[in-house]
Amino acid sequence: MKAVFVTGTDTDIGKTYVSALICKSLVKQNLNVGYYKAAISGEDNIKNSDAGYVKDVAGLKQSYESLLSYLYQDPLSPHLAARIEQRFVDLKKVSEDFHQVAALHDYVLMEGSGGIVCPIVYEKDKKILLEDIVKLLCLPVVIVADAGLGTINQTTLCCHYLKSKSIAINGIILNNFDKNKTMHQDNLAMIEDINKVKVIATVASQAAELSMRVGSLSDAFSLITKF
């Protein structure tokens, strides 16, 4: 089984949108792909959540319940939404739920909440950042970044942080990319040169497909090394 973790340089950068396009592309190749997200806030119905959106757009066959472990109503950071509801993420459950999805699929895409430093639980006796889940599951990361102004700084900071935590980066995907804009082309080149990480795909604004730049989409996935 191969898996990858999709994170972003910021909240609302397009992680869910890009995740749906990745899964959709793999489904079109007749590959057995599953999706999983540990926690979503700002919704009270899985079908209407980010996870439900990915399932519907990609045409995934897995059940809605298997897409997600924790759903919070308030549109807040997961740690604060969990505190309000007094229902906290448990890493054992996240691991079990992820591996249940993994047992039924050849490829698994796991989507993060917010950016990589997003706090999932932040109480006096228990602190979990998104990076702790990535490390727990031994997943490599694909970063979703915007193609526009400011992305060089944001993407470089994200790459630097991941590298400082010894988390493998399998590539970057630039969202809202316009191949006719000189700035977007330059941003892509600068990001690759500064970070020594490939931009593996671009996504035009509201595009229905990814535009791959290197290899195949399945190349962005790496084998999980331990369970």
Cite the active site residues: 37
Q: Is 22 assigned a ligand-binding role in the annotation?
A: no
Q: Is 56 assigned a ligand-binding role in the annotation?
A: no
Q: Is 219 assigned a ligand-binding role in the annotation?
A: no
Is residue 75 within 8 Å of residue 45, measured between CB atoms?
Answer: no
Between CA 14 and CA 207 the distance in angstroms is 12
Measured from the Cβ of residue 11, the count of other Cβ atoms closer than 10 Å reads 11
| Rg value, the chain, Cα | 17
Q: Is 42 assigned a ligand-binding role in the annotation?
A: no
Q: Is 65 assigned a ligand-binding role in the annotation?
A: no
Q: Is 24 assigned a ligand-binding role in the annotation?
A: no
Q: Is 176 assigned a ligand-binding role in the annotation?
A: yes
112: left (phi over 0), alpha (psi -120 to 50) or beta: beta
Q: Is 218 assigned a ligand-binding role in the annotation?
A: no
What tokens were used for 26? Answer: 């793999």
Q: Is 12 assigned a ligand-binding role in the annotation?
A: yes
Between CA 181 and CA 69 the distance in angstroms is 40
Q: Is 15 assigned a ligand-binding role in the annotation?
A: yes
Binding residues for substrate: 41
Binding-site annotation, residues for ATP:
12-17, 50, 111-114, 175-176
List residues forming the annotated binding site.
12-17, 41, 50, 111-114, 175-176
